Structure 1
């Protein structure tokens, strides 16, 4: 499952990224009491169609790499469930069953779909994982270099009838998409769900801290070796320069939505981004980007998309809006 919608966001993380630094006063209590030194372990992997960067603070490289291995496995397990590109995934099979009959799904899928419906309602429809038919028609499942014929209003009205998370029927362990032709786009939520799971697995190992960057979605716990917080510099997607104030994270997740790199073009070279208004089945670019910060990566992931498309995020979700547009 390629999650490309935030690839325009380049992340520069300062502090503790290169070499081991002593920083004894900042070490978590139980390691400081043991009188041990901690080291920073780094690794980059290709998982779920995207590059993931890991940083783990641990007593040894062996323990650090083991925590990363388990986190990678969590991503790969969920990819088999949520992938839009694997015909054997649970979401792909659910799409094939649309309008026909309910399907038994895993607990992971039930949780993701329940939460997606909740955000759909809370965002007054701005967040909608049934947007997939429109994503396909606007060319986002095709080769980016190929021009796309823009859909007309009559075609868009037909697509609109296939969109609406209220048409996802959940009953016990069974799920059904109410109308034939409906399809699920997990790109605005599955990455965050996977980050939450990966961090949960990492916390179960004997490491002091962890930081994961998944194509611009970030989750972390504990502290880096040389400072109290994880510092993330968001770049302005137009100028590629860092914004004035960095974002500091403490046991939090960060997700950014914007429409810069993942774009499609028509024969006249007019382009559009991949964030679509569900009620119109059309691309929208109201602002440069919206970043959401929350203790849960899934919450941040969903609300960065919803807020970008105009929804008011709940109070517990911190948002950062960049107004420049390309």
Structure 2
């Protein structure tokens, strides 16, 4: 029986193939009750491709819910965009070092949650990464060398999540240093998916799937009653699959580094920057987080990328209700404690959850 296939994808080219069972009416003349089917709508949002899927026996309800989910994501994009000159995030950045900015409670709340994740991850996740100097060009080309160490150290001088000043009473955000900036790109797609899903479910959509370019949340069941099958791509073989799992009421979020990168002496350097050192995070090609909260998963994949395979796995193993699977620079698949994957032939054998040394 055909199933729903979806490969998680954020910055890496991962396989997405979705098939729906064809649902037929009863015999001619019979007054059969409407049967559930899957309705899908796609849009370009937050600079990425989003797909909204609703499972329903009521086509009018399904289309209303899809439109509502899309509009909610658009609203969030306008509110938090780093690039939109009218967004509240842009205003915070524009007035850095000048004065606090009054913002919506929603903005205060999301920034507060990012700071908690920063503290939890030891600063591996940091929305002030945008304060760093642009010293790299991720053009997929071979470069002669990395920037010199003094330039790299200087590039991160304004970064620091601890510097962000929130006043929950006055609803203000203040960046105390001139040139400081925040960018919520590392969590915003997950937040948009979460809010859209909550809205669609409240409207009566008991099953569905939203994919924000690799930030995936699925709930309920497919039209045939089965769970949602999520495929994880193979970084070494674009458009192929390394493993898969079947889930429901869970987020599966993947980050990777082979769409935006450069190489030096044959080594890949991806676009995710370690906010402590200023150098691109190394050691991993792909990170997939599985947990009930798609917003949290969206932030954790970047944190694990920065921490690397050893510290990243140890970090996830300390978190309740969170699992991960990683693909390191050597192509080996690593999994957290209790994580069960179905591997394809293209996947490297799964390793122990506690590797003893970095690759």
Q: Same fold (TM over 0.5)?
A: yes
2:323 to 292, 315, 318: 318
1:8 to 5, 12, 37: 12
The residue that corresponds to 2:51 in the other structure is 53
Q: 1:58 touches 1:208 (CA, 8 Å); kept in 2?
A: yes
The residue that corresponds to 2:165 in the other structure is 169
Q: What secondary structure sits across from 1:282 in the alignment?
A: coil
CA distance in 2, matches of 1:210, 1:219: 8
Q: 1:133–1:116: structure 2 CA closer, same or farther, 3 Å change rule? A: same
CA distance in 2, matches of 1:185, 1:152: 26
Q: What secondary structure sits across from 1:306 in the alignment?
A: helix
Deviations 1:172-203, CA, capped at 9 Å, x for gaps: 21111121111112111111111110101111
The residue that corresponds to 2:20 in the other structure is 18
CA distance in 2, matches of 1:74, 1:58: 20
Which has the higher mean CA deviation after the structures are superposed, 268-277 or 70-79? Answer: 268-277
CA distance in 2, matches of 1:81, 1:148: 40
Per-residue deviation, 1:270:
7.9
Q: What secondary structure sits across from 1:288 in the alignment?
A: strand
Where in structure 2 are there 5+ consecutive unaligned residues?
1-8, 25-31, 332-359
TM-score w.r.t. length of structure 1:
0.85
Q: 1:293 touches 1:300 (CA, 8 Å); kept in 2?
A: yes
CA distance in 2, matches of 1:135, 1:208: 46
2:298 to 294, 297, 301: 301
Q: 2:93 touches 2:180 (CA, 8 Å); kept in 1?
A: yes
Deviations 1:183-241, CA, capped at 9 Å, x for gaps: 11211111111111010111121223110111111011111122431111111111233
Per-residue deviation, 1:150:
5.5
The residue that corresponds to 1:27 in the other structure is none
Matches within 5 A, 1:10-159: 10-12=14-16, 17-21=19-23, 36-134=34-132, 136-139=134-137, 151-159=147-155
Q: 2:132 touches 2:157 (CA, 8 Å); kept in 1?
A: no
Superposed CA RMSD: 2.6
Per-residue deviation, 1:38:
1.1
Higher relative contact order (CA 8 A, sep 6+): 1
Where in structure 1 are there 5+ consecutive unaligned residues?
23-33
Q: 1:9 touches 1:216 (CA, 8 Å); kept in 2?
A: no
Radius of gyration: which is bigger?
2
The residue that corresponds to 1:278 in the other structure is 275
CA distance in 2, matches of 1:216, 1:303: 13
TM-score w.r.t. length of structure 2:
0.78
